[in-house]
Amino acid sequence: MKRTIIITGGAGFIGSHVVRLFVNKYPEYNIINLDKLTYAGNLENLKDIEDKPNYSFVRMDICDFQSIFELMKEKNVDGIIHLAAESHVDRSIKDPFTFAQTNVMGTLSLLQAAKIYWESLPEKYDGKLFYHISTDEVYGALNMTHPEGIKPPFTTTASSQTHHLAYGEKFFTEDLKYQPHSPYSASKASSDHFVRAFHDTYGMPTIVTNCSNNYGPYQFPEKLIPLFINNIRNRKPLPVYGKGENVRDWLYVEDHARAIDTIFHKGTVADTYNIGGFNEWKNIDIIKVVINTVDRLLGRKEGEDMDLITYVTDRAGHDLRYAIDSTKLQRELGWEPSLQFEEGIEKTVQWYLDHQEWMDRVTSGDYAKYYDEMYKNR
């Protein structure tokens, strides 16, 4: 079937993997990557597919309701996969306004443009979908009742990984009440509510998914894993917040993109799916794995860079534990994480070590100046 889909935030970390997957897998689809190219957006992430006939890029702000409406009308858009967002918790603590503007008002302007356009068509919402990508952080934080970790009562294909521990018996399930703590998660929670409100009020076909922490290639090096890989390589201090005891649940980014593909095509309208790989790690443990892996792949003595670990003041309102229960997605739609964590982290470290030029351009901000110049008069 022919479809025209806008993927917002396609020049960012997760968005670029979703765009690549859809462009390669569905040559009959017309994929429009809509991105403002903030500091986190980088078209270099999509060099390998930019010349494909079913791909196009539009530099646009999701808050620009009028331009989005015109684009939807001109291209006859029938699906939106919405990833564009401000995504870094530390930035949200310093500058919450930008997060409310992009994540809340931007999502609302996309919803309103889709509503007006789709309602103007004879078939209205038939065959349309607004798919909103959200985070597990909207659920707040879980307790850590088992600081040493227990074997969780779940089985997945990834469950054979050597580290498969849970740090409490409670998990984020789809029916949990939202309790966001950071300005980032509060803005994402608000956008999730708007998406559901557009279904409940206007009958717009919507889906919301909440995913755990992603890792993999093309992640902006302000986030834990790429920042630390780069610092270890350059023998710079590794700033560990608090005691490094906080727990995050990590999923390889391509597995998230595969889940988005599955849910976009097979998910139930108005439903919510949690996405995660049952892969909880204390920050300090994952940091040690990263140090060992970087050292080994650089031919250094494994662990020789442990002394770069530097404990610093904790993040304000730092959520203690995130842990996703993705049983529903696995049971209802048959999605499973494909990679064991050890394999994913090895691939990830190798990718950043092999792409030092990407890292240098991203950290210097040179690419951003280039885009500003290139799109100045458009």
**Least distance CB 134 / ligand TYD (angstroms):** 12
Question: For residue 105, what is the DSSP state?
Answer: I
**Least distance CB 230 / ligand TYD (angstroms):** 11
Distance CA 35, CA 62 (A): 8
Q: CB-wise, 109 or 326, nearer to ligand TYD?
A: 326
Q: Strand order in 29-35's β-sheet?
A: 55-59, 29-35, 3-8, 79-82, 129-135, 206-211, 272-275
- At 359, list the tokens: 């890292």
Determine contact, residues 13/38, Cβ cutoff 8 Å.
no
Distance CA 256, CA 2 (A): 24
Q: CB-wise, 80 or 286, nearer to ligand TYD?
A: 286
Distance CA 11, CA 84 (A): 9
Q: Which residues bind ligand NAD (CB under 6 A)?
A: 8-9, 11-15, 35-38, 40-41, 61-63, 83-87, 102, 106, 133, 135, 188, 211, 213-214, 220
User: Residue 37 binds which one of ligand NAD, ligand TYD, none, with CB within 5 to 8 A depending on kind?
Assistant: ligand NAD
Q: CB-wise, 193 or 300, nearer to ligand NAD?
A: 193
Instruction: Tell me which H or E stretch contains 150.
Output: none
Candidate list 14, 195, 240, 253; residue touching ligand TYD; CB under 6 A: 240
End-to-end CA distance of the chain: 33
Question: What are the Cα distances from residue 91, in Å, to 16, 182, 183, 303?
Answer: 21, 10, 9, 31
Is 70 part of the annotated catalytic residue set? no
Could you give the 3-state DSSP secondary structure of residue 119? helix
Q: CB-wise, 108 or 349, nearer to ligand NAD?
A: 108
From the candidates 61, 86, 136, 249, which is the catalytic residue?
136
Could you give the 3-state DSSP secondary structure of residue 95? coil
Is 314 part of the annotated catalytic residue set? no
State which of positions 64-103 bind ligand TYD (CB under 6 A).
Answer: 89
User: Residue 84 binds which one of ligand TYD, ligand NAD, none, with CB within 5 to 8 A depending on kind?
Assistant: ligand NAD
Binding mask 184-213 for ligand TYD (x = CB under 6 A): -----------------------------x
From the candidates 35, 137, 249, 280, which is the catalytic residue?
137
Q: Which residues of the shown chain bind ligand TYD in the complex (CB under 6 A)?
A: 89, 213, 223-224, 227, 239-241, 246, 248, 283, 315
Residues serving a catalytic function are 136-137, 184
